[in-house]
C-alpha cells in the first residue's frame, strides 16, 4: 500500500500519539469556562425536586439495618468498641459520636467509629490503621508494639521506616492496609512505598474478564447473571484489555467480586443491576450503561421541572443520611442543600457555577450534577461511592467562601517545595527496571484486601537509578506518573487508568495538608486568592499544570451587592500531582499581591515599541559523546541529583553530547547540557528526579523565587521565574520578547503575564531567563519626573520652539 | 445563546464532546505542536460559540469546524512569521477525513496500536524512538547500525504495512 504525502502526515500524527502515549485532552470544561457557558441553562426552568424511591424494599431494609445497627452499637458501647483493638496500656474515652485515645495505641479497622488521637481525627477507615498517642514510637516502643501486633495476628513489614509513618504532632499513624482519612486527608497504601514485599503474606493473582466472571458466578451458585434479553452473560463482553489483580483470599468474597465486576462493566459501558427474588436471592441483569445514565438524566430533568419523577428501574433515590446503606456500585440520586455562605461565592446565586465545577468530579460519562435554584440546592446523581467525594468538595467550597484559614495561601509559605539541599556522598548505584505489573502486585499485597483493575500492557516498565544499598521501590503512584497513569479508589476497589479519566476520583486534600502528602499522589485541592481574580489566575495556571492530566477550574464570585460587602475573588479548584500543586500554590502566592500595579511608562512613553532586547545565548563549544547511563550513574552516586525514575526513556538515548571543557570530570553541568541538546530536561519529581521532554518541563520545573537567585543555577536547567515589573507593562514587554528570534522559539520556553500585579511568569532554561532578566533590568527603570520636565519646558524662552519631548529611563544608581 | 445549531439539534456542549478530538488531531496533522493544538482547539469552539452556524449534519459541521481551525492555525503561523509547512491543504483534508471516520480517528488509533504489535521488535523500537521520543534519524541510524537512507525506507515500509493493517482491520 503506497501512501501519499498527506497520508504520511496523518499517520505520523497517529504514530506520535501511539508511541508517545499522548491522548487528546478534554477541552469541555476549559471552553465552557472561557465562554461562561452553562449546560444547565440550556435546559428547562428549574423547579422543586420530588424524587421517589424505586421501591419500598430499600426503606425497609435500611430501617431494619438501622434498628439492628443501633442495637449492636448499644451492645458494643458497653463491651468492646467496634473496629477498635486496644493495647494493654491504652486508655480510651467515649466522646460524643466516637472515641478518644488518651494513651497507648490501637488498631483501627473498617467498622470503627471516628477516633480522636491527640489533636488528630481518624475516620472512614477501609483497612487497618495503627494509631499511637504521641509521636513516632522509639525503637523500644516499636518492639513492644510489634510483639503486641503478633498477638493480634497482624504483621507489619518494617515499622522502623519512618517515611511510612504519618506524624501529626500529638499522634502517629501507620497504615497497615487499605486507606483512611486522617485530619481530613485521605491516605492510601498506593501513596507509600510497598514494604517488605517478599514477606507479605497475601498472595495475588492477575486474571482476565472471563475468569473474573467465572469467579463471581462460582462465589454465588444460587444467583443468576443474565443479559436484559434473558440470554446468558458472556464474560468476553468485559473489555478484553482489562486485568484484575486479586488477593487470593478475595477470590471467594462475593461483595468484593461484585464491586469489581460492576466497575469492570462500567468501564465496558454496561451496568450491573441487582434484582431480588423472595427478598433473599440476588440476581443480576447486565444492561446497557446508556439506559441507566438516561434514567439518571430523566430524574434530573424531573427535578428541574418539578414534575413527578419517573419510576426508576436502576437508580435509587437517597438522602445524605441514608447514603451509607447503599452499595458502592449502586447508582443513586440525592438533593444536597447549599448553604448561604456558599451562595455568596457563586456568581449567580443559582448554584450553576458550583454545579459546573462539581461536574468535573462526577464520574465521567455517568455522573450528573444539576442546580436547583428555587431551593438553592444541588441534584447529584452518581455511583454511591463517588457521592461522598462530591459532598466533601461542597463542604470545602463552603469553607473557602467563609474565608477559612485552610485556604489562605499567604500563611503557607512553608518549606518551599523544591529547594532541598542534597547531601554530597558517594555510593554504588545501579540501574534497575521494574515491570509495572510487579508494582501492581506489590500494591495489591500491601493493601491487604484491595483488588486492582487495570489495563497495563505487558512490557511497561519503570527504570530507576538508585543506590545499590537502598533497593527501595517507588510508590505505585510515583511509578505510574511518568506513564500518565494514576490509581484511584473506587469504593473498596482500586482502579488504575489514564490520569485524565481518573481525575473525577482524585482525593480532596486541604492546602495545609499537602506537606504530608506523597508527591506521586494525584489530588484535588482548592486555592482561594485574596486579591487577584480567580479567572485571571486560572488563565496562567492552566498552562502550568501537568499536560493531559492537571486541571484548574475557577468558581467565580458574584458581584458585590454593596461596597461594604467583603469582596471574594473566587476559588480555584486544582487537580494535579502533589508536587505540582505545591508549585502552583507558590506561584499564586507570588502573584496574589495586595496592590494592583499600574505601570508608569505605559501612558506617556511608548519606548517599549522601540525596545530591542539584547538576548544572546552562549555556544556550548566542542562536545564529545558520553554514555548516558554512565553519566547518570555518576551524578546519582555523587549525590548531585536525586535517584532517577523514568518511563524507560533512556533506552532510546544511549549517548549524550556533553561539553569537553571538563573532560575527565563528571558533573551535573555536563548532564544538563547533554540533555538540553536532546531537548530533554532533568527535573525534581517527589523524592526522585526524572527526565522529560522540554515541552513538558514548564509544567514541572522548580521555582526560582527571585531573579538574583538565577545565578546559582546551572545554565541548562529548566526553571520557573516570577518577576514583577514596576514601570513598564508586562504584557507589552512579553509581546516584544516573543518577537525576539532566540527566545520563545526555543522549545520549552513560555512567558505568561498577569495584569493585576504586572508580573511575568517565565519558564525555560536558566541561561535564557538570565538573558531576558538582564534585558528587563535595562528597561524597567523609573522615568524622570514628568513635572520637572514640564516645568523646564514652561521656563524656556518664548522663542524656543519645542516640537517633541522624549522621556527616557534614568541610569540605574551605582 | 445556548445552542450553536439553529435547529437546536446539537447543543454547544454536545458539539464540543462530539468534535473536540477531531479538531485537535486535525490541527496536529496541519503541523501544530501539542500546546498550539490545545489553544487553537479551544479558540475554534469559542469562535463557534460566539458566532453560531447552521447545523446541517455531522459531516458539514466537522468541515465547518475544520475550516475555522485551519484559519486560526494560519493566523497563528502568520503571527509567528513562520509559514505553514504544507502546500496541498485539500489533500491533507481528504486524508484526514478518510482516517478520522465518525469518531475523530479514535477507532483507527486503537487499530494502529493493535497493528503495532504485528511489527517485529526492531521495527517497533525504531518507530518508538522516532515518534515516541523524537530521536533524530541520524541517531537512530547509528544506534541500529543502519544507513540513513535504509532507515528512511524502513520507516516508510513500516508505515505502509501499518496503513494496510489498519484498513484490513477496519473492514
Which of B34, B95, B113 lies nearest to residue A18, judging by beta carbons? Answer: B113
Whether the predicted pLDDT of A242 surpasses 90: no
Pair A554, A400: CB distance under 8 Å: no
- Kindly tell me if the per-residue pLDDT of A348 is higher than 60: no
Looking at the structure, do residues B113 and B77 belong to the same domain, yes or no? no
Provide the domain count of chain B. 2
Answer with the one of B82, B115, B136 that is the final residue of a domain: B82
The phi and psi torsions of A446 (rounded to 5 degrees) equal: -70, -30
pLDDT in tens, A470-525: 666 777 888 888 787 888 877 668 888 877 667 777 778 877 677 667 777 788 88
- Range picked from A306-310, A418-422, A792-796, B30-34 for highest mean pLDDT: B30-34
Measured between CA atoms, how close is A554 to chain B, in angstroms? 17
| Burial bucket for residue A331 (CB in 10 Å: 0-12, 13-18, 19+) | buried
**DSSP letter string, A649-672:** GGGG--EEEEESTTTT---HHHHH
> DSSP alpha helices (H): ranges in A36-169?
57-78, 139-151
Residue B29 has pLDDT above 90, yes or no: yes
B61 and B116 co-located in one domain: no
State how far the Cα of A353 lies from the Cα of A362, in Å rounded to an integer.
15
Q: Is the pLDDT of residue B25 over 90?
A: yes
- Does A39 sit within 8 Å of B13, measured CB to CB? yes
Asked, for residue B14, whether it belongs to a domain, the answer is yes
Q: Provide the chain B residues 147-166 that lie in CB contact (below 8 A) with chain A.
A: 156, 159-164
Nearest residue in chain B measured CA to CA from A738:
B80
**Is a pLDDT exceeding 50 seen at residue A66?**
no
For residue A31, list chain B residues with Cβ-Cβ distance below 8 A.
16, 42, 45-46, 49
A33-47, A61-75, A361-375: least confidently modelled range: A61-75
pLDDT, one tens digit per residue, over A364-393 is 778 888 877 777 778 888 988 888 888 888
* Nearest CA distance, A580 vs chain B (angstrom): 18
Range A414-441 average pLDDT: 66
Residue B91 resides in a domain: no
Cell of residue A17, nine digits: 500519539
Contacts with A733 (C-beta within 8 Å, 6 or more apart), sequence order: A608, A611, A725, A760, A776, A779
Q: Do A181 and A395 contact (CB within 8 A), yes or no?
A: no
Q: Is residue B34 located within the same domain as residue B66?
A: yes
Question: What CATH number does residue B26 fall under?
Answer: 1.10.1740.10
Top-confidence residue, A767 or A307: A767
The partner residue sitting opposite B131, judged by closest CB among A5, A20, A34, is: A20
Residues B13 and B72 in one domain: yes
Q: Looking at the domain assignment, is residue B89 inside a domain?
A: no
CA distance A450 to A438: 15
At residue A346, the pLDDT reads 55
Confidence of residue A788 (pLDDT cuts 50, 70, 90): low
- Reply yes or no on whether the pLDDT at A807 is more than 70: no
- Whether residue B97 lies inside any domain: the answer is no
Residue A804 has pLDDT above 70, yes or no: yes
Domain assignment present for residue B37? The answer is yes
Of B20, B47, B82, the residue at which a domain comes to its end is B82
Same domain, residue pair B26 and B74: yes
Query: What's B153's domain CATH number?
Result: 1.10.10.10
pLDDT(A67) > 50: no
pLDDT of residue A763: 92
Backbone angles phi, psi at A702, to 5 degrees: -65, 145
On whether any CB of chain A is under 8 Å from the CB of B171, the answer is no
pLDDT at A785 over 70: no
Q: For A12-41, what is the mean pLDDT?
A: 75
Q: Please give the residue of chain A at the shortest CA–CA distance from B165.
A: A1
Same structural domain for residues B123 and B152? yes
Q: Do B35 and A695 touch (CB under 8 A)?
A: yes
| C-alpha distances in Å from residue B166, one per residue of B97, B110, B127 | 15, 9, 16
Q: Cβ separation of B132 and A12 shorter than 8 Å? A: no
Cβ–Cβ contact B28 with A under 8 A: yes
CA A670 to chain centre: 33
Angstroms from B39 CA to nearest CA on chain A: 10
Is the same domain home to B64 and B130?
no
- Mark whether B111 and B78 lie in a shared domain: no
pLDDT at B3: 43
Query: What is the distance between the alpha carbons of residues A692 and A482, in angstroms, rounded to a whole number?
Result: 9
Cα–Cα distance, A493 to A491 (Å, whole number): 5
Residue contact A10–B20, C-beta within 8 A: no
Q: Would you state the cell numbers that stand for residue A117, as one nine-digit string?
A: 488521637
User: Distance from A39 to chain B by nearest Cα, in Å?
Assistant: 7
Contacts of B95 in chain A (CB under 8 A): 4, 6-7, 9-10
Mean pLDDT of the region A545-569: 73
How much is the pLDDT for A43? Answer: 34
Asked whether this complex has an ipTM greater than 0.90, the answer is: yes
Of B48, B82, B116, the residue that ends a domain is B82
Answer yes or no: is pLDDT of B141 > 70.
yes
Q: Which domain holds residue B160?
A: 102-170
Mean pLDDT, chain A, integer? 76
Q: What is the pLDDT of residue A44?
A: 28
Test the B interface: residue of A13, A369, A737 with most B CBs within 10 Å: A13
* Interfacial B residues in 3-22 facing A (CB < 8 Å): 3, 11-13, 16-17, 20-21
The yes-or-no verdict on residue A266 having pLDDT over 80 is: yes
d(CA A739, CA B91): 32
A810 or B119: which leads in pLDDT: B119
Residue A490 phi/psi, 5-degree rounding, is -120, 90
By the CB < 8 Å criterion, does A19 face chain B?
yes
Q: Is A347 helix (H, G, I), strand (E, B) or coil?
A: coil
Say yes or no to pLDDT of A666 above 80: no
Same domain, B18 and B46: yes
**pLDDT band at residue A420, thresholds of 50, 70 and 90?**
very low
Residue B25 lies in a domain: yes
- Using one digit for the tens of pLDDT, what is the confidence trace for B54-111? 777 888 888 989 999 998 888 888 776 666 666 678 888 899 999 988 888 988 998 9
What is the pLDDT at residue A396? 83
pLDDT at A736: 81
Claim to verify: residue B159 and residue B110 sit in the same structural domain: yes
Contact A14 B108 (CB under 8 A): yes
Same domain? B43 vs B75: yes
Same domain, residue pair B118 and B162: yes
pLDDT > 50? residue A616: yes
Q: Check residue A248 and give its pLDDT.
A: 81
Q: Which of A6, A35, A654 sits opposite B94 (nearest CB)?
A: A6
pLDDT band at A349 (very low <50, low <70, confident <90, very high): low
Q: Which residue of B has its CA nearest to A28?
A: B16
Q: How far away is chain A from the Cα of B118, in angstroms, using its nearest Cα? A: 14
Q: Is residue B113 in some structural domain?
A: yes
Work out the minimum CA distance from A240 to partner chain B, whole angstroms: 13
Which chain A residues touch B108 with a CB distance below 8 Å?
Answer: 14
User: Does residue A709 belong to the interface with chain B, where contact is any CB pair within 8 Å?
Assistant: no
Q: What sign does the CA torsion over B63, B68, B69, B71 have?
A: positive
Residue of B nearest to A698 (CA): B35
Considering only CB atoms, A7 lies closest to which of B41, B95, B143, namely: B95
- In a domain, residue B87? The reply is no
B73-to-A76, A463, A554, B82 alpha-carbon distances in Å: 69, 38, 28, 11
A19–B127 C-beta distance less than 8 A: yes
Amino acid at each position: 500500500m503506497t501512501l501519499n504525502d498527506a497520508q504520511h502526515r496523518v499517520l505520523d500524527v497517529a504514530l506520535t500519539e501511539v508511541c508517545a502515549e499522548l491522548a487528546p485532552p478534554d477541552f469541555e470544561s476549559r471552553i465552557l469556562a472561557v465562554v461562561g457557558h452553562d449546560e444547565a441553562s440550556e435546559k428547562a426552568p428549574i423547579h422543586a425536586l420530588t424524587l421517589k424511591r424505586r421501591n419500598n424494599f430499600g426503606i425497609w431494609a435500611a430501617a431494619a439495618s438501622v434498628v439492628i445497627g443501633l442495637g449492636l452499637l448499644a451492645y458494643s458501647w458497653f463491651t468492646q468498641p467496634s473496629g477498635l483493638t486496644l493495647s494493654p496500656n491504652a486508655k480510651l474515652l467515649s466522646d460524643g459520636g466516637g472515641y478518644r485515645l488518651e494513651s497507648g495505641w490501637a488498631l483501627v479497622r473498617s467498622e470503627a467509629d471516628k477516633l480522636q488521637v491527640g489533636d488528630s481525627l481518624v475516620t472512614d477507615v477501609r483497612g487497618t490503621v495503627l494509631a499511637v498517642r504521641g509521636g513516632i514510637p522509639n525503637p523500644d516502643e516499636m518492639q513492644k508494639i510489634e510483639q503486641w501486633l503478633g498477638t493480634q495476628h497482624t504483621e507489619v513489614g518494617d515499622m522502623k521506616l519512618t517515611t511510612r509513618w504519618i506524624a501529626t504532632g500529638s499522634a502517629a499513624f501507620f497504615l497497615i492496609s487499605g486507606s483512611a482519612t486522617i485530619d481530613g486527608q485521605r491516605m492510601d497504601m498506593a501513596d507509600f512505598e510497598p514494604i517488605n514485599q517478599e514477606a507479605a503474606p497475601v498472595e495475588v493473582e492477575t486474571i482476565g474478564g472471563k475468569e473474573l466472571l467465572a469467579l463471581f458466578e462460582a462465589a454465588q451458585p444460587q444467583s443468576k447473571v443474565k443479559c436484559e434479553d434473558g440470554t446468558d452473560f458472556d464474560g468476553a463482553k468485559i473489555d478484553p484489555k482489562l486485568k484484575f489483580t486479586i488477593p487470593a483470599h478475595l477470590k471467594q468474597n462475593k461483595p468484593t467480586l461484585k464491586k469489581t465486576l460492576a466497575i469492570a462493566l462500567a468501564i465496558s459501558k454496561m451496568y450491573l443491576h441487582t434484582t431480588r427474588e423472595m427478598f433473599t436471592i440476588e440476581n443480576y441483569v447486565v444492561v446497557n450503561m446508556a439506559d441507566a445514565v438516561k434514567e439518571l438524566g430523566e430524574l434530573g430533568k424531573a427535578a428541574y421541572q418539578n414534575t413527578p419523577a419517573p419510576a426508576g428501574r436502576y437508580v435509587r433515590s437517597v438522602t445524605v443520611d441514608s447514603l451509607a446503606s447503599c452499595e458502592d456500585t449502586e447508582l443513586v440520586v440525592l438533593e444536597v442543600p447549599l448553604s448561604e455562605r456558599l451562595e455568596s461565592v457563586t456568581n449567580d446565586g443559582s448554584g450553576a457555577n458550583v454545579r459546573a465545577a462539581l461536574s468535573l468530579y462526577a464520574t465521567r460519562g455517568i455522573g450528573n450534577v444539576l442546580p436547583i435554584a428555587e431551593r438553592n440546592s444541588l441534584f447529584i446523581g452518581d455511583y454511591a461511592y463517588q457521592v461522598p467525594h462530591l459532598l466533601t468538595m461542597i463542604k470545602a467550597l463552603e469553607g473557602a467562601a467563609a474565608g477559612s484559614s485552610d485556604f489562605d495561601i499567604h500563611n503557607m509559605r512553608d518549606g518551599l517545595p523544591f529547594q532541598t539541599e542534597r547531601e554530597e556522598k558517594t555510593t554504588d548505584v545501579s540501574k534497575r527496571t521494574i515491570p509495572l505489573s510487579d508494582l501492581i502486585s506489590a500494591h495489591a499485597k500491601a493493601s491487604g484486601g484491595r483488588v486492582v483493575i487495570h489495563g497495563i500492557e505487558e512490557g511497561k516498565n519503570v527504570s530507576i537509578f538508585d543506590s545499590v544499598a537502598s533497593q527501595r521501590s517507588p510508590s505505585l503512584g510515583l511509578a505510574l506518573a511518568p506513564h500518565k497513569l494514576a490509581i484511584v479508589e473506587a469504593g473498596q476497589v482500586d482502579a488504575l487508568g489514564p490520569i485524565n479519566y481518573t481525575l473525577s476520583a482524585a482525593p480532596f486534600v486541604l492546602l495545609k495538608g499537602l506537606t504530608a502528602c506523597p508527591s506521586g499522589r494525584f489530588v484535588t485541592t482548592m486555592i482561594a486568592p485574596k486579591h487577584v481574580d480567580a479567572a485571571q489566575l486560572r488563565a496562567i495556571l492552566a498552562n502550568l499544570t501537568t499536560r493531559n492530566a492537571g486541571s484548574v477550574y475557577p468558581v467565580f464570585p458574584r458581584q458585590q451587592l454593596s461596597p461594604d460587602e467583603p469582596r471574594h475573588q473566587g476559588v480555584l479548584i486544582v487537580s494535579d500531582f502533589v508536587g505540582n500543586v505545591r508549585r502552583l500554590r507558590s506561584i499564586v502566592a507570588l502573584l496574589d499581591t495586595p496592590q494592583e500595579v499600574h505601570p508608569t511608562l505605559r501612558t506617556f512613553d511608548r519606548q517599549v515599541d522601540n525596545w530591542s532586547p539584547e538576548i544572546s545565548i552562549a555556544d556550548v563549544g566542542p562536545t564529545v559523546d558520553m554514555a548516558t547511563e554512565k553519566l547518570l550513574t555518576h551524578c546519582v552516586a555523587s549525590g548531585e541529583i536525586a535517584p532517577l525514575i523514568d518511563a524507560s526513556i533512556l533506552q532510546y538515548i544511549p549517548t549524550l553530547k556533553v561539553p569537553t571543557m571538563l573532560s575527565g570530570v563528571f558533573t551535573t553541568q555536563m548532564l544538563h547540557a547533554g540533555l538540553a541538546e536532546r531537548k530533554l530536561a532533568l527535573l525534581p519529581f517527589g523524592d526522585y528526579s526524572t527526565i522529560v521532554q522540554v515541552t513538558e518541563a514548564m509544567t514541572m520545573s522548580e521555582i526560582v523565587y527571585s531573579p538574583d537567585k538565577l545565578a546559582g543555577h546551572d545554565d541548562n536547567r529548566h526553571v520557573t521565574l516570577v518577576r514583577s515589573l514596576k514601570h513598564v507593562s508586562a504584557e507589552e514587554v512579553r509581546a516584544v520578547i516573543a518577537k525576539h528570534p532566540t527566545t520563545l522559539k526555543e522549545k520549552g520556553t513560555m512567558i505568561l503575564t498577569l495584569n493585576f500585579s504586572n508580573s511575568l511568569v517565565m519558564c525555560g532554561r536558566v541561561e535564557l531567563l538570565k538573558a531576558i532578566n538582564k534585558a528587563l533590568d535595562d528597561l524597567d527603570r523609573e522615568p524622570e519626573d514628568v513635572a520637572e520636565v514640564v516645568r523646564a519646558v514652561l521656563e524656556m524662552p518664548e522663542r524656543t520652539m519645542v516640537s517633541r519631548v522624549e522621556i527616557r529611563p534614568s541610569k540605574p544608581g551605582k | 445563546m445556548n445552542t450553536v445549531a439553529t435547529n437546536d439539534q446539537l447543543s454547544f456542549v454536545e458539539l464540543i464532546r462530539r468534535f473536540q478530538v477531531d479538531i485537535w488531531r486535525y490541527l496536529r496533522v496541519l503541523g501544530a505542536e501539542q500546546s498550539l493544538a490545545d489553544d487553537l482547539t479551544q479558540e475554534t469552539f469559542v469562535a463557534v460559540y460566539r458566532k453560531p452556524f447552521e447545523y446541517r449534519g455531522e459531516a458539514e459541521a466537522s468541515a465547518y469546524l475544520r475550516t475555522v481551525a485551519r484559519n486560526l492555525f494560519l493566523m497563528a503561523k502568520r503571527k509567528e512569521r513562520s509559514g505553514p509547512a504544507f502546500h496541498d491543504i485539500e489533500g491533507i483534508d481528504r486524508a484526514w477525513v478518510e482516517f478520522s471516520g465518525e469518531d475523530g480517528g479514535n477507532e483507527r488509533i486503537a487499530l494502529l496500536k493493535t497493528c503495532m504489535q504485528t511489527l517485529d521488535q526492531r521495527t517497533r523500537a525504531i518507530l518508538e524512538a522516532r515518534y515516541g521520543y523524537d530521536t533524530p534519524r541520524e541517531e537512530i541510524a547509528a544506534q541500529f547500525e543502519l544507513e540513513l537512507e535504509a532507515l528512511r525506507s524502513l520507516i516508510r515500509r513500516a508505515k505502509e504495512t501499518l496503513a494496510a493493517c489498519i484498513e484490513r482491520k477496519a473492514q
